[in-house]
Structures are given as structure tokens and as C-alpha cells.
Amino acid sequence: MKKNMDSANDSPAMPGTSVPMAQSSGTVKVHESVIASIARKAASTVPGVVRLAGSSFVDNLAEIVGSGRLDRAISIEMGESSVSMEIRLVLAQDCHAPSVAMAVQNAVVNEVTHLAGMHVARVDVSIMDLDTMPEPSPVPEQK
């Protein structure tokens, strides 16, 4: 099995994708957890998305035992110069699912491209469940 090595210092390279820089002063690697975080935030802002689907019990257990993969709702595949992902969602019961899925795809592509400077090859959206949107909590009156 070939190890991913950083040729500059022959140490194991960080999993991620190199982002081209304007100058040749080195490389920038964006870790998949950063991509997952950007995708999570972008998807969560789309109207009709109730939440990302994941097993909160499994996620909490993984965090306790220190598992490297904490986000069960997003799967990331890093390529040499691009990233592909699958996002699992819970949508609002009264939304048009295909429209929301397309809006999530667009939001994720735009944010990952803008914030990480990476090409997004594919965003697959899996709708795992439907739920009601949470009611906004009332703002307490100040006296």
C-alpha cells in the first residue's frame, strides 16, 4: 500500500486536496473536515432544510471515542484537484423536494468554491426523511 507522502519533507501528507496558489511558495491543503463544515453550513441555510440527517447517537459516540469521522450526514471524496460529496438531509414536509435539493447543490458548490477555492465535481443529495420545521422560539419581553 502506497502512503500519501509530502515530497517536500517526506512526511505523511495531510489528507486533502492541494489548492493552486498564485505564487510557487508552497501548497495549501484543504482537509475534508473543512469541506464538510462548509457544506453543512451552506446546506443548513437553504429554506426547506430542517436539518442534516445523521445518527446523533452514533455521532456523539464517535466524538467520545475520538473517531476521525464525526459527520455522518456528509460523505466527502477528495480528488487531486476537486471534491465530490453526498449530503443526507431531512426536509420540511411541505416543501418541493427537487427544488430544495437543487438549491442545496447550488449553495454547497458556491460556498466550497468561494471559501476553499476548490472545484466541486459533484454534490449528491439524499433526502432521508421529512419533518416539520421547528417553530422559532419567542423572544422574551424585556421590562
| Domains of the chain: residue spans and CATH | 53-130 (3.30.70)
pLDDT for 23: 59
Supply the pTM of this predicted model: 0.72
Mean predicted confidence (pLDDT) in 75-84: 90
> Which comes out higher in pLDDT, residue 76 or 60?
76
* Residue-wise pLDDT tens digits, 19-35: 655 556 888 788 999 99
Rounded mean pLDDT of 65-82? 76
| Angle made by CA atoms 16, 19, 22, in degrees to the nearest 5 | 160
Please compute the mean of the pLDDT values over residues 123-127 and round it to a whole number. Answer: 97
H/E stretch holding 135 reads none
Q: d(Cα 51, Cα 88) in Å, to the nearest integer?
A: 9
Residue 57 has pLDDT above 80, yes or no: no
Q: How far is CA 50 from CA 17, 18, 43, 97, 113, in A?
A: 30, 33, 10, 12, 24
- Alpha-carbon gap, residue 101 to 86, rounded angstroms: 11
Q: Average pLDDT for residues 106-119, to the nearest whole number? A: 96
pLDDT band at 143 (very low <50, low <70, confident <90, very high): low
Whether 132 contacts 93, CB under 8 Å: yes
